[in-house]
Structure 1
């Protein structure tokens, strides 16, 4: 199975593609960051994130998209940007009919490293 993993963020949205099968080591096929300028309007930044994610979807053709779940922070502004970037990722995947899985940061680390 090929999975596009997304660590959402408004300034830096991490992306990575892994491929593998149950019980076997994963193979990293690509890793990168979709960046947006912090001084741009929020709408422009979300469009840039969408374009970046769409490019990764076009290039790698994943079977599933895994998005790191937004977790509570004290900084509401940071949470909002992360949630908006997360929604863009889910929209891009859903538009293509790809299943979306939401995982906490701990679940992602455990799934990838086994620990």
Structure 2
């Protein structure tokens, strides 16, 4: 049995930010073991509504999820360059709302790029949405694929973070040791 398997399960809220559809997914588990689905859903806002009201609706739903599911960490997709500036802006705004909600509660926030998430769940950083959805369904032993793709992407983010925790912790510990050795602690 590895040291990771002896840790208590971690609960991660994955957020695939978007203004029209913001995916939310909670998984629980330990690195090296199949994760368990806790909840999955999507916050939808009307594209014709005022931006402030849309962001407020997203904030309120994320807060509700944080209250209901009590995650240990929040994993948010890092905004990635897209051709449509309006889409990038909406994604960045929704992502910022998610980060603020987590920060308000003192929860750690991790940002993962789409290619990191795809590589973590499929083994291929260039996997398409169907491949990600299929692997999320298999990893969580779901009988039906999470829909829409934003929901599957949120679960993929949570799984990615759950599985990357040992590497993230090892890097942080190594950086700390280097600072101490260099006298900058």
Superposed pair shares fold, TM > 0.5: yes
- How many residue pairs match? The answer is 114
Q: How does 1:64-103 map to 2 (within 5 A)?
A: 64-103=73-112
TM-score (norm 1): 0.96
1:47 alignment partner in structure 2:
56
Gaps (5+ residues) in structure 1? Answer: none
In 2, the alpha carbon distance for the partners of 1:68 and 1:16 equals 12
TM-score (norm 2): 0.60
Larger Rg over CA atoms:
2
Asked if 1:5 is matched to 2:14, the reply is: yes
Runs of 4+ in structure 1 deviating by more than 6 angstroms, as ranges, are none
Backbone CA RMSD of aligned residues = 0.9
Deviations along 1:11-41, one digit per CA (max 9) or x if unpaired, are: 1000000101011111111110001111100
Deviations along 1:65-84, one digit per CA (max 9) or x if unpaired, are: 00001100111111000000
More strand by share: 1
More helix by share: 2
